[in-house]
Chain A
Amino acid sequence: MSAEQNSSMTPQDAAAQIDNTGHQVRRRARWQGWLFLAVAVADFGFYIAIGSASQAVSRALIPLPILLVVAIFLVASRQLVVGRDAGPINKPVVAAGLAASIAGLVLYQTVMPQGFTGWLVLLAAFMVTPFLAGAWAWLRP
């Protein structure tokens, strides 16, 4: 077999095929961005709910993050393609997300006014910022 035997595929054809295939793969790998966006929205709702609800309701909501983690693993394990920059993007996002969550919880318990306030919304937004950044990294055009 030689390159000449593949003469039906011109260099221009090959370049177009590479572009097209790469585009399709990157599009299919964007599920990670949608997953980060879903996590950001779910977390934001959770922080607002747990911060503004009564103590009994807050306690009832505590298992929700565990369910979210299980759902993430289930969704991720069903995917057929993982994007090329998965490691360099996902690891810092998850680490920063965990750090922001812990810092936010400490802030809320120590210096923040309790109950539903503008501060709670700001804090919840801060806590999900890493996940929004991760979503942007995968979904940007």
Chain B
Amino acid sequence: MGLAPPVNTGNHPRHRLDELIHAPVRLSIISALAAADRADFRFLRELVDVSDSLLSKHMTLLEDAGYVKVIKGYHGKRPRTWLTLTDTGRTAFDAYLATLQEIVGTTARQPPPHVP
């Protein structure tokens, strides 16, 4: 007899993790912007180590969700794109952090496996 699939009761805190944030690239973007007032697109690209197009794709998702605000400007004749976390984004990230801490705390509190 095989193992039964895990039953999703929906009670575990992991079900409350914001799916938009809980993805490696977007988590890096959001956590970078949470630590900054604003960050340049190039800085984020280097920090997250992704291509322009992939970063743009994720930025669009976050912008559409209202988590991130894109500010376009110029430095001399050179176009610059600044990114900043909105209040909605910061609230969502704070909630994500709280859920994450809850999960990590739950994991830490679990008793060690029984060794016969």
What residues make up the interface of A, taking CB atoms closer than 8 Å to B? 1-3, 6, 9, 11-12, 14-15, 17-18, 21-22, 24-26, 28-29, 77-78, 80-87
Contacts and interface: CB of A to CB of B under 8 A. Distances in A.
Contact of B97 (A6, A18, A86): A18
B34 to A, nearest CB: 7
A12 B104 contact: yes
Q: Is the interface of B mostly helix, strand, loop or mixed?
A: helix
Interface size class of B (residues with CB under 8 A): 20 to 34
Contacts of A24: 32, 47
7 contacts: A3-B17, A14-B27, A25-B35, A25-B39, A77-B75, A83-B35, A84-B36
Contacts of B32: 21-22, 24-25
Contacts, number: 83
Contacts of B103: 11
Contacts of A18: 27, 31, 97, 100
A45 B107 CA distance: 57
Interface in B19-36: 19, 22-24, 27-28, 31-32, 34-36
B52 to A, nearest CB: 15
Q: Is the interface of A mostly helix, strand, loop or mixed?
A: helix
A96 B92 CA distance: 36
Contacts of A6: 19, 22-24
A12 B15 contact: no
A78 B34 CA distance: 21
A24 B39 CA distance: 12
A116 to B, nearest CB: 41
A25 B22 contact: no
Contacts of A22: 31-32, 34-35
Contact of A25 (B17, B36, B42): B36
A17 B31 contact: yes
A86 B27 CA distance: 23
